[in-house]
Chains A and B, each alone.
Chain A
Amino acid sequence: MDYTLKESPTLETQMLEVNLGPQHPSTHGVFQMNVTLDGETITRLKPVMGYLHRNHEKLAENMTYLGSMPFTDRLDYICSMTNNFAYALAVEKLANLEVPERAQYIRVIMAELTRLVNHILLVGFLLNDLGAFFTPVLYAFREREKILDLFEAISGSRMMCNYFRFGGVKVDVTSDFIPRVRQIINNFPKFLDELETLLSENEILMARCQNVGILPEELAINAGITGPMLRASGVPYDIRKVDGYSIYNRFKFRVPIGETGDVYDRYYIRILEMRESLKILDQAIKELPDGEFISKAGALGARSPRNFKAPKGDAYGRIEAPKGELGFYLVSDGTIKPYRYHVRSPSFINLTVLEDMCLGQKVADAIIILGSIDIVLGEVDR
């Protein structure tokens, strides 16, 4: 028997306004979406941000340059090492500081390990949003914990590393650093293979993700989207390649791009990027030279941050953070504090296309589209 209506109903229907969040577990923090629904279809979506605003920029303007380094850890609290990296680059550009070779390599290794941590966590939580409740997340956590243990052994803290200093890093790596990184490089591909067997060909995942939340190439470029989201839409733009900051131009790696720019592409591009990160790690650990871990001037600055003055001028340091282009814009007036301090956070800018991707989709899809953007509210609200 056919239960569907033969004719479309002539009933007057009303739009329904729903608040998703800020206390909703799928919003990855305190993020609110005001959604207008026509049945189950989204006709309007308004993001509401600012619940986690902590005045980061103004705090930094009233603090020494090094003083805001631990605060940058708390921007994107999953990848504190890359936040440190971008800030250190900006200040080094401003103050014309040299970074020793060994420190450069340590920095790159840390940044790539952070990329692994971030992407593996994103894949886990995206599956959580899809309804695969906590099995993929816990598999991801198990691997992530090994990297975080390494971070703890080197920097002293699992997540709030505060490891980079201007002109180098805080302390030299421990003696068992190289074998431990090697172990991660050897074991991680096995885990990735297992994860891909679990997920990549799963029919439910494909049905839920493919052709959902498509971000067209043109819109992605116009809206200033960066990182894996942009590359999933088919634009081969990676700041590691374009800018070649630090020593990234020495390593051989490829930039994976997607075809359609849907949620599935955004998921899969992260898997591919992790494999490329492992290649960079492999090359970096082979070439890791001996020497100083911090330059003389840098060590002096770390010892007495109150005497560290940057010359007048401005500088913009940017890196390819796991989420996109993370930039720090600093203006100095020659004193010990920055005159202006601005963060260009990838999560915030990537979030601006949320409405465009969600229009015409179902409510349940809005959750996974948000999950695939990969936001951390600490960075969005700052």
Chain B
Amino acid sequence: MIFGLGVLKGMMVTLKNFVLSYFTKERLTTVQYPEERIPEKERFRNFPFLIYDEKPEDLRCVSCDICAKECPPKCITIVRDSDEQGKPLKRPKVFDIDFSICMNCGICEEVCPFDAIFMDHEFELAEYGRFEDLNYHKDDLLKSNEYFAKIRPQDAARIDAKLREKAKLKETEIRGHNT
């Protein structure tokens, strides 16, 4: 073989790629990010958020502390709320997630028995402060069920159906008790 032919052949490949990158979509893969965006995948997970059904006051979380215990890097802090007599209530008083520690593994979502915590699609979360700015409190984490249905329609439909089933079962049980 002639010496240098391999290099020339290789250069033809780069030339082909260079020229074709102006015409074919297959070779033109760059997305001009802030203006142009790739559609988000439904299963994409970033940071967790807390879900509420109708009003932000009645969130699904019952502060059972399971997610905080299972979280591998231990980024969730939950303090249970209590009424005036000191009786514990089924809602969190403090629910903090430190986004600087969270590693987006999605285990909290998997283990939650009440379908109260889910992984969000939001990813533009840059802050100036390292510690307190990234420590998200309960109010920052709350998001509505409609929002969840918007970002993850399939999962939301499945979970809503499951919750309706559960509510129906509970209702019949109570009715059974009364009669």
Interface-facing stretch out of A110-118, A148-156, A340-348, A349-357: A148-156
Report the minimal beta-carbon distance from A174 to chain B, rounded to whole angstroms.
8
Tell whether, in the assembled complex, residue B105 and residue A162 are in contact, meaning their CB atoms are under 8 Å apart: yes
Tell whether, in the assembled complex, residue A156 and residue B110 are in contact, meaning their CB atoms are under 8 Å apart: no
| Chain B 78-122 per-residue mask, 1 if CB under 8 angstroms from chain A, else 0 | 000000000000000000000000011111001100000001000
Task: Count how many chain B residues have C-beta atoms less than 8 Å from C-beta atoms of the other chain.
Answer: 31
CA distance A153 to B43 in the complex (A): 6
Tell whether, in the assembled complex, residue A199 and residue B10 are in contact, meaning their CB atoms are under 8 Å apart: yes
Tell whether, in the assembled complex, residue A160 and residue B43 are in contact, meaning their CB atoms are under 8 Å apart: no
B10 contact from A145, A149, A174, A197, Cβ within 8 A:
A197
B45-75 contacts to A, CB under 8 A, are: 45, 66, 69-70, 72
Report the minimal beta-carbon distance from B36 to chain A, rounded to whole angstroms.
15
Task: Count how many chain A residues have C-beta atoms less than 8 Å from C-beta atoms of the other chain.
Answer: 40
Tell whether, in the assembled complex, residue A156 and residue B3 are in contact, meaning their CB atoms are under 8 Å apart: no
Tell whether, in the assembled complex, residue A305 and residue B43 are in contact, meaning their CB atoms are under 8 Å apart: no
Tell whether, in the assembled complex, residue B4 and residue A305 are in contact, meaning their CB atoms are under 8 Å apart: no
A52 within 8 A of B: no
Tell whether, in the assembled complex, residue A198 and residue B106 are in contact, meaning their CB atoms are under 8 Å apart: no
B6 within 8 A of A: yes
CA distance A289 to B103 in the complex (A): 33
Interface-facing stretch out of A10-18, A61-69, A97-105, A246-254: A61-69
B41 within 8 A of A: yes
Residues of chain A having any CB pair with chain B under 8 Å:
63-64, 66-71, 74, 135, 139, 142, 145, 149, 152-157, 160, 162, 170-171, 174, 194, 197-204, 206, 302-306
Give 16 A-B contacts (CB < 8 Å), ordered by A residue: A66-B107, A67-B70, A70-B103, A74-B103, A145-B29, A153-B41, A154-B43, A156-B106, A157-B44, A162-B106, A197-B12, A198-B14, A201-B9, A202-B10, A203-B7, A303-B111
